[in-house]
Amino acid sequence: MKPLFLMALAALTIFTACSTDEPTGEKNNESEYQLLINEFMASNDAAVSDAEDNGSGDGSPYDDWFEIYNAGPDAVDIGGMYVTDNTDDLTMHQIPEGHAVQTTIQPGGFLVIWADSEPDQGPLHAAFALSGGGESIALVEANGRIIIDSYQYTAQQTDFSFGRQPDGSDNWFAFATSTPGASNNGASQNLPPVISQIKITPDPVDPGVTVTISALVKDSNLSTVALNYGPAGDLSGQTAMTLTDTLYTAAIGPFADGQVIFYLITATDSEALQTLSDTLSFEVGYVPPVLKINEFLASNNSFNQDPEEDGSDGDPFDDWFEIYNPGSSAVDIAGMYVTDKLSSLTMWQIPAGDPSKTTIPPGGFLLIWADKEMHQGALHVDLKLSGSGEQLGLTAPNGTTVIDSLSFGPQTGDISFGRQPDGSSNWMSFTTPTPGATNN
């Protein structure tokens, strides 16, 4: 049996929802350096390419990043200083010394650090990735104790940066056009509509019933919201979505048993900025499998090493979570989605093509590495868990049916959190995690 730890904490760790408060900045007045975290992108899918990553062996070249601004009168070499995404571990990654040409920030200048878990690519590549679901970023003096600047942020929108405007101020904004390595003073805050919380009702869909599709759509100048739908390859059906309370909704159907309907939402504002949702689907009569997120480790400092990680991609001790199949039939999770932001259920889709890795036998367990190192295989996802607490979800291939989800609070290094007995609603902290095996 696993030893139990922090029982009182365990009772407080699972929540029904996470805070939606705006991020707040922190400064440590002990430091004499006038260096500030000025801008960052924690969910970079296709916005800013890392020039030193051609994608040949390190996965996508679109890596997370953050920018440091020197507000002082003197040039500062940050070689020897530390950066971290966990203020409980201030010495997570040390910027290498001896590279002053690359690591020196001129007065009024900017320097981009790639949070890509690929420190072998150069002195400006950190051995961690940022979580799109929210966490901390900190710059620490070379003594490893004094925080020069830190910032706690919440869930981020994909391909949008978040930064100070004017540079170095306390005013933070989302930017439609990011400016890594340059001033934020001209960055545009004119953002396209944001579509989230897409849901179908009822779920699952039975034959002969009308289906209501709803979504939260945000924009200060929203003009129209439309739903396109139909069978695969033909989304010619169209209807306007109308505002009902806080959500935009549209009713379609009814449909026959076994029919698969695809749909997408288009939101347009008065300035002709437009956002299209992912193309989602539902199958009439679909019954989702019963699977449970059974255990996770969101702050893996030294407990268990990713066996496919030889250290060339950075720290081999990656975050992970485990899925348990309590049923009597094997389940292939290929095509399902995982997310660390429950308002965005389709954040990462488990790739098909390798059922030997993605199939969970009856009563079995499957370990997923949340390391943003997808080139390592189907069980490595474009997520990173936050030790400060966030959300975790598993979604059916239709993109809307939540198979299992949870919200968790701050975690302790090398201590996992899981269900005991397996699949139950009873969550506990484990000082000896058992990834890929029973918690009992």
Q: What pLDDT digit, counting tens, does each position of 250-288 carry? A: 999 999 999 999 999 999 999 898 999 999 999 999 999
Structure tokens at 62: 């679109």
The reply to whether 54 and 111 lie within a common domain is: yes
Parallel, antiparallel, or unpaired: how do β-strands 82-84 and 93-94 relate? Answer: antiparallel
In a domain, 54, yes or no: yes
Parallel, antiparallel, or unpaired: how do β-strands 222-230 and 260-269 relate? Answer: antiparallel
pLDDT, residue 80, reads 97
The reply to whether 168 and 37 lie within a common domain is: yes
What confidence category does residue 1 fall into, taking pLDDT thresholds of 50, 70 and 90?
A: very low
The reply to whether 299 and 415 lie within a common domain is: yes
The reply to whether 298 and 421 lie within a common domain is: yes
In a domain, 66, yes or no: yes
The reply to whether 36 and 145 lie within a common domain is: yes
The reply to whether 47 and 70 lie within a common domain is: yes
pLDDT, residue 50, reads 67
Under 8 Å CB-to-CB from 156, ≥6 apart: which residues? 41, 42, 43, 132, 134, 162
What confidence category does residue 247 fall into, taking pLDDT thresholds of 50, 70 and 90?
A: very high
Q: How many domains does the structure of the chain reveal?
A: 3
Q: Is 8 helix (H, G, I), strand (E, B) or coil?
A: helix
The reply to whether 301 and 275 lie within a common domain is: no
Domain limit, last residue, from 283, 306, 321: 283
Residue 26 has pLDDT above 80, yes or no: no
Over the stretch 352-366, which tens digit does the pLDDT of each residue have?
999 999 999 999 999
Mean pLDDT of the chain: 88
> Domain of 125: which CATH number?
2.60.40.1260
Rounded Cα–Cα distance for residues 285 and 263 (Å): 17
The reply to whether 279 and 298 lie within a common domain is: no
pLDDT, residue 6, reads 34
pLDDT, residue 108, reads 97
Over the stretch 150-187, which tens digit does the pLDDT of each residue have?
999 988 888 899 999 999 999 999 998 899 999 999 88
What range defines the domain where residue 259 resides? 205-283
pLDDT, residue 301, reads 80
pLDDT, residue 2, reads 40
Over the stretch 82-122, which tens digit does the pLDDT of each residue have?
999 988 889 999 999 999 999 999 999 999 999 988 888 89
> Domain of 264: which CATH number?
2.60.40.10
pLDDT, residue 217, reads 96
101: burial class by Cβ within 10 Å (0-12, 13-18, 19+)? exposed
- What is the pLDDT averaged over residues 23-38? 74
The reply to whether 331 and 255 lie within a common domain is: no
pLDDT, residue 295, reads 98
Rounded Cα–Cα distance for residues 68 and 149 (Å): 9
- Check if the beta carbon of residue 55 is closer than 8 Å to that of residue 428: no
The reply to whether 229 and 270 lie within a common domain is: yes
Rounded Cα–Cα distance for residues 64 and 128 (Å): 9
The reply to whether 74 and 152 lie within a common domain is: yes
